[in-house]
Amino acid sequence: MTDTSIRDSTREREREREREEEEQSEELACPECGGNLVSDEERAETVCSDCGLVVEEDEIDRGPEWRAFDAKEKDEKSRVGAPTTKMMHDEGLSTNIGWQDKDAYGQALSSRQRQKMQRLRTWNERFRTRDSKERNLKQALGEIDRMASALGLPNNVRETASVIYRRALDEDLLPGRSIEGVATASLYAAARQAGTPRSLDEITTVSRVDKDEIARTYRYVVRELNLEIKPADPVSYVPRFASELGLSDEAERRARSLLETAKGEGIHSGKSPVGLAAAAVYAAALLTNEKVTQNEVSQVANISEVTIRNRYHELLEAEDGLGAV
């Protein structure tokens, strides 16, 4: 036992050394002095670090000529997008192993060979279907990325969205549903989970799928994957609305506290969180003497003025009830 393992490990080491030598001779050795080659991308040259011999020059830099500092910028500057419709799902690149048990000359195979081929077929099929899932994933992730940046959602949301999508894919939730639909639903769920929710309407504007389907798919995915998603917290909308309206930090703080007391009073159950947030923002602006009209708030929050009125009365009542003012 110990004998064999020692012999194994020495052989292993030998093989490794061989491999390293191969790599050295193939890629990194200078033809002149045998020294290391270093590629200098700035000058588009490959030079030997020992003797200075230039092995290649005027190399082509295949990277983009622009620089991007965040995802949004990258999106704007990039002139190529995700590959769209590739008609054939695998672009005709995957392999099939024939079903006849014949060799290249048409001779029948031995039973031993036949067994081997059968095993190969099985594995080839497994890899191929895995590939198709990979492709599916790639398209969905591209879609998620596109929508996320259109909505200005941070990277961690994209990541959770992809995780959710992967799970959906693994649990075979896709058949009978569109990739876009599930991708959108995943993003919606991820945004809510991460505490940076976007309303269904906002999601709908950037998705290729209509609202009903998103809602349906979302419910389905949440149920099947047992995702725990609490109803959106109104507070999480506040910063966004406040900044879009150009309100002070003070107003934002007031809005938060307004919502906290409202929560304490239990006013918020059953009401749309967006409406509540919008009302709080409006009320806060009023309290800090910053001029914002109900109309403006209703615009940024996508909520009707009436709802704002109703909610903000309730908010102020709750505040008064506590003897705050």
Partner DNA sequence: ATGGTTTTTACTGCGTC
Partner DNA sequence: GACGCGGTAAAAACCAT
Binding site for DNA (CB under 7 A): 211, 215, 270-272, 275, 293-295, 302-307, 309-311, 313
How far is it, in rounded angstroms, from Cα 309 to Cα 279? 7
Q: Smallest distance from the beta carbon of 206 to DNA, in angstroms? A: 17
Q: Calculate ∠ Cα 291-153-256, nearest 5°.
A: 40
Q: Smallest distance from the beta carbon of 163 to DNA, in angstroms? A: 25
Task: Using the minimum distance from each CB to DNA, give the nearer residue, 197 or 275.
Answer: 275
Q: Smallest distance from the beta carbon of 160 to DNA, in angstroms? A: 22
How far is it, in rounded angstroms, from Cα 280 to Cα 298? 12
Q: Smallest distance from the beta carbon of 82 to DNA, in angstroms? A: 30
Q: Smallest distance from the beta carbon of 310 to DNA, in angstroms? A: 6
CB 187 within 8 A of CB 148: yes
How far is it, in rounded angstroms, from Cα 295 to Cα 302? 10
Task: Using the minimum distance from each CB to DNA, give the nearer residue, 55 or 206.
Answer: 206
According to DSSP, the β-strands at 54-56 and 45-48 are: antiparallel
Task: Using the minimum distance from each CB to DNA, give the nearer residue, 135 or 271.
Answer: 271
Task: Using the minimum distance from each CB to DNA, give the nearer residue, 124 or 272.
Answer: 272
How far is it, in rounded angstroms, from Cα 237 to Cα 293? 18
Task: Using the minimum distance from each CB to DNA, give the nearer residue, 184 or 294.
Answer: 294
Q: How many CB atoms lie within 10 A of CB 109?
A: 14
